[in-house]
Amino acid sequence: MGEVKNKQVILKDYITELFKESDMDIVEGAITLELPEGPNEVLLKNLYLSCDPYMRNRMNKILKIEGPATLLVGYVWGFTKWEEYSFVPSSRILFKIEHTDVPLSYYTGILGMPGITAYSGFFEVGLPKKGDKVYVSAASGAVGQLVGQFAKLSGCYVVGSAGSKDKFRFSVFVNTSKSFANNLILHASPPLHLNAYLSTTILQIRYFPEGIDIYFENVGGKTLNAVLLNMRINGRIVVCGMISQYQSAQPEGVTNLKKLITKRIRMQGFVVRDYYPMYPKYLEYVLTKIKEGDIVYVEDIVEGLENGPAALVGLFNGRNVGKQVLLVSRE
Amino acid sequence: MGEVKNKQVILKDYITELFKESDMDIVEGAITLELPEGPNEVLLKNLYLSCDPYMRNRMNKILKIEGPATLLVGYVWGFTKWEEYSFVPSSRILFKIEHTDVPLSYYTGILGMPGITAYSGFFEVGLPKKGDKVYVSAASGAVGQLVGQFAKLSGCYVVGSAGSKDKFRFSVFVNTSKSFANNLILHASPPLHLNAYLSTTILQIRYFPEGIDIYFENVGGKTLNAVLLNMRINGRIVVCGMISQYQSAQPEGVTNLKKLITKRIRMQGFVVRDYYPMYPKYLEYVLTKIKEGDIVYVEDIVEGLENGPAALVGLFNGRNVGKQVLLVSRE
């Protein structure tokens, strides 16, 4: 097979606050496509790479940097560096891809880590009941768009929001039709800051006059503070992410936590890794729903490894609509 | 029986921030000690009244004001106004006192609402396991001193803190002897603000090198923020109260909530009223332990209804050590 070029995206140094495209470099190495010596290495050719908000946390000092990727030789999916070809130790978990009658890019999203995240977070941590009032933030993202649909399919009332500070873009989708994601209503430029806006008008008066049973938390900060005022008794806050807080050395303070007491709220964080053993069960659940059109998955696919840094930075500026995927190679 | 004087403590108006003795008045009414007409009233003579932090929240606009009390005619305990004699509707829950071989004042504390609070919060919400590392704030208070002892009796490692901003008084007790409360070490005037101090030195380095499994939260604010950095994976934060936040129109912001995610923390509020059905079970548990000396209860008893306002205000200045009780009448 011989030596081939191996383009890579590397992070130049740890990042303290906002990160920029210029924090990353595209370098061109070379790799010899030979079967690895010994039993401890696997050679992969990467097809799709995933852009996810949690990656920002891996760029802080202290933590080891590691890029996620959906990999193909076999096919499999798992975690690698951001590059065209990867050697990974065979001790690393790689999931064998059994179903190829769906887009392979789905293994970075609905059929990969974000999918299990949405499933385990909503069902295992949120413990939904039919009729629950569910609110999802970052609801057009990789995880949020699934939570909304799972909630609807479970007989819940669902409202989601998505937006960015930069553009004051704001989107709310309500459960009026079969698919949650098909009902994403984009409100261009609301007059107030997204979070302040949520606090009074949107949440309580317009969408949750009786309050929220389950809040699927992806953003943190002011939105969380507003939600706390609108939770129902025995409500649950599933803490999946807090994207608004990842880039700040001094995160925003949440001041309404005493509502946890009077409203008997359970606020619980989780990490998807703990739920990987549920993957086969989840696949069974979701594949049928994809094939029958009960679940729709919106992707925002950028082509070319060299466009990866911009796509990753764009997540924090609200540039993407749907799961941000980076296409490295079609085969 | 005829007419007798009936001294009462009344709140003059709703309170917005700090409350003071002068917000309350002592008035002297009269009451006719006759059996109430109809089946809907109970006549009580109050012996002990309880001073608890949650009462501050009842003084804000919106909420109905209601004083708690331990009552005696029978004997019973329950909730009344702050006065010498009370008529209460028979629809109100009154607990009959069956055990009088313990101090009657205990029914405002260890054998009353604070006792069930500590028991249900620690066992039902905290779900302790033997060996868990437990941290209790406001640990010399009505509830905190019990949580510490329940934790020790359950085979947990326990550290508690208590203090006041005014005096920079600081107390930590560790589980070196049979009784938690007997090991309350008072650190007079530590050099830094109590909460800032907790953050680094006390919590992590000195007392919880491996982190905290259960935090029994009574104070909120900076202490909670410090604890979030020191929780262990799968830790639980039992949110019982946030006394540091009750008097402020602009509560302190909690900035470390994203730790809930990586550490898979469950942070859960509760209200004791939901657990009153457990009262008989709790009594059985605690009475034996009191009689065998396995549990000690520290009370701070002030005598005379006219001294009630000062005692209640004092709770928020850290004036009391142990459960604050107001003795109205010995019989």
pLDDT at A201: 57
More confident of the two residues A317 and A102 = A102
Rounded to a whole number of angstroms, the distance from the CA of A142 to the nearest CA of chain B is 17
The pLDDT tens digits of the residues spanning A166-189 come to 333 344 444 434 445 433 433 333
pLDDT at B87: 82
- Interface check for A252 against chain B (CB to CB < 8 A): the answer is yes
Cβ-based neighbour number of residue A178 at 10 Å = 14
Of the listed ranges A91-105, A126-140, A233-247, the one predicted with least confidence:
A91-105
pLDDT at A42: 79
pLDDT at B296: 84
pLDDT at A31: 87
CB B300 within 8 A of CB B321: yes
Amino acid in the structure at residue B114? P
pLDDT at B68: 53
Q: Which of B242, B257, B267 sits opposite A242 (nearest CB)?
A: B257
Of the listed ranges A50-54, B18-22, B182-186, B301-305, the one predicted with least confidence:
B182-186
Cβ within 8 Å of residue A269, ≥6 positions away: A239, A240, B259, B260, B261, B262, B263, B264, B265, B266
User: CA-based angle B244:B250:B255, to the nearest 5?
Assistant: 75
Greatest mean pLDDT among A198-207, B49-58, B275-284: B275-284
Q: Which of B240, B246, B255 sits opposite A251 (nearest CB)?
A: B255
Residue B164 pLDDT > 90, yes or no?
no
Residue with tokens 């990753």: A312
pLDDT at B70: 53
Q: Which of B239, B240, B253 sits opposite A253 (nearest CB)?
A: B253
Residue whose C-alpha is closest to residue B114's, from B144, B77, B137: B144
Mean pLDDT of A62-83: 66
Residue whose C-alpha is closest to residue B112's, from B153, B146, B150: B146
Residue with tokens 């010596």: A37
Residue B38, phi then psi, degrees to nearest 5: 70, 175
Amino acid in the structure at residue B186? L
Six-digit token pair at A191? 């007059």
Cβ within 8 Å of residue A83, ≥6 positions away: A6, A7, A8, A9, A29, A46, A305
Residue B293 pLDDT > 80, yes or no?
yes
Contacting residues of B for A245, CB less than 8 Å apart: 257-258
- Interface check for A220 against chain B (CB to CB < 8 A): the answer is yes
pLDDT at A99: 92
Residue A194 pLDDT > 50, yes or no?
no
Residue with tokens 């900060």: A221
Question: What is the 8-class DSSP label of residue B83?
Answer: B
- Interface check for B247 against chain A (CB to CB < 8 A): the answer is no
CA distances, B193 to each of A271, A303, B11, B136 (Å): 34, 54, 32, 18
Contacting residues of B for A263, CB less than 8 Å apart: 269
Does A271 contact B252 at a Cβ distance shorter than 8 Å?
no
pLDDT at B132: 95
Identify the sign of the CA torsion B26, B29, B33, B37: negative
The pLDDT tens digits of the residues spanning B82-134 come to 888 888 887 777 888 889 899 989 999 999 999 999 999 999 999 999 999 99
Six-digit token pair at B221? 């604010």
Residue B219 pLDDT > 90, yes or no?
no
- Interface check for A176 against chain B (CB to CB < 8 A): the answer is no
pLDDT at A177: 41
Mean pLDDT of B321-330: 86
Contacting residues of A for B220, CB less than 8 Å apart: 257-258
Cβ within 8 Å of residue B105, ≥6 positions away: B48, B70, B299, B301, B325, B327
The pLDDT tens digits of the residues spanning A141-159 come to 899 989 988 998 999 988 8
The pLDDT tens digits of the residues spanning A111-148 come to 999 999 999 999 999 999 999 999 988 887 899 989 98
Cβ within 8 Å of residue A152, ≥6 positions away: A158, A175, A180
- What mean pLDDT is reported for chain B? 81
Residue B191 pLDDT > 50, yes or no?
no
pLDDT at A300: 86
pLDDT at A298: 83
Residue A15, phi then psi, degrees to nearest 5: -120, 140
Does A258 contact B245 at a Cβ distance shorter than 8 Å?
yes
pLDDT at A70: 53
Six-digit token pair at A122? 């909503």
Report the alpha-carbon distance of residue B132 to residue B153 in Å, rounded.
12
Residue with tokens 């607990």: B95
- What mean pLDDT is reported for chain A? 81
Domains contained in chain B, CATH given: 3-109+298-327 (3.90.180.10), 114-272 (3.40.50.720)
pLDDT at A216: 96
Confidence band, pLDDT 50/70/90 cuts, at residue B281? very high
Share of chain A above pLDDT 70, in %: 82
Bridge partners (DSSP) of residue B324 are: B300
Greatest mean pLDDT among A49-53, B181-185, B191-195, B244-248: A49-53
* Cβ-based burial of A247 (10 A; exposed 0-12, middle 13-18, buried ≥19): middle
Of the listed ranges A193-197, A323-327, B166-170, B177-181, the one predicted with least confidence:
B166-170
pLDDT at B163: 64
pLDDT at B35: 74
Does A268 contact B270 at a Cβ distance shorter than 8 Å?
no
Tell me how far the alpha carbon of residue B179 is from its chain's centroid: 19
User: CA-based angle A48:A181:A21, to the nearest 5?
Assistant: 40
